[in-house]
Amino acid sequence: NAFGPRSGSRSSKTFKPKKNIPEGSHQYELLKHAEATLGSGNLRQAVMLPEGEDLNEWIAVNTVDFFNQINMLYGTITEFCTESSCPVMSAGPRYEYHWADGTNIKKPIKCSAPKYIDYLMTWVQDQLDDETLFPSKIGVPFPKNFMSVAKTILKRLFRVYAHIYHQHFDSVMRLQEEAHLNTSFKHFIFFVQEFNLIDRRELAPLHELIEKLGSKDR
């Protein structure tokens, strides 16, 4: 019964509403450019800043795209990521994450993975929707602190990949989503490496996988 509604399954829906880049906008053109170069199969080249483009805008468009991809990937496994299966937000036995956003929750709290990821994705979404941080209109400048905002968002989105790989990879394999996950993650890693957006320390939970993905392309 592959097509019937499975109770409690969120796999057919996305986890959070998708963030749409307005059609006809310059950012939409950039996204289309990104998709076209991805199709060429050379990811190292695909992540490079297109000639004459603004770095902030390129990072903004890709950050929105990664948010949507991770959203979709996590959406396929939400039924396996529960309070009981994942009482803490971890990426293997050595890495555990506690949630704080600096405004509503100042002191890091220990919470289950689904709760942590819900906090995280809601927090990212609020920033992507904030026109002062992620301006969608042409000519509206990016804020001076944009780079540090983007870095924090990407650092946190990485944790969702790390959790999926460490705790739910068997479910990903069963759903035959591994190629999709690997391609998305590889694109993400090449992107953050190209612009030096995530500290090496933060990438440690998936260090071996990152090495492996990179070695195939040298």
Distance CA(101)–CA(92), nearest Å, equals 23
| Confidence band, pLDDT 50/70/90 cuts, at residue 4 | very low
Q: Is 180 annotated as a binding residue?
A: no
Residue 88 pLDDT > 60: yes
Q: Distance (Å, rounded) from C-alpha 184 to C-alpha 177?
A: 11
The pLDDT assigned to 194 comes to 96
* Position 19 in a domain: no
Residue 113 belongs to domain with CATH number: 1.20.140.30
Let me know if residue 20 belongs to a domain: no
* Alpha helices per DSSP H over the chain: 26-39, 43-46, 55-77, 113-128, 146-174, 178-194, 207-215
Dump pLDDT digits (tens) for 167-218. 999 999 999 999 999 999 999 999 999 999 999 999 999 999 999 988 765 4
72 belongs to a structural domain: yes
Q: Is 163 annotated as a binding residue?
A: yes
**Encoded tokens for 138:** 């042409």
Q: How many angstroms separate the Cα of 78 from the Cα of each of 74, 83, 154?
A: 6, 11, 21
- What pLDDT shows up at residue 171? 95
Q: Is residue 111 part of an annotated ligand binding site?
A: no
Q: Confirm whether 197 is domain-assigned.
A: yes
The number of distinct structural domains making up the chain is 1
Domain that holds residue 104: 26-215
User: Is 81 part of any known ligand binding site?
Assistant: yes
- Say if 13 falls within a structural domain: no
In this prediction, residues 133-145 reach a mean pLDDT of 89
Residue 17 lies in a domain: no
The chain-wide mean pLDDT, for the chain, equals: 88
- What residues contact residue 168 under an 8 Å CB cut-off, 6+ apart? 77, 80, 81
**Inside any domain, residue 10:** no
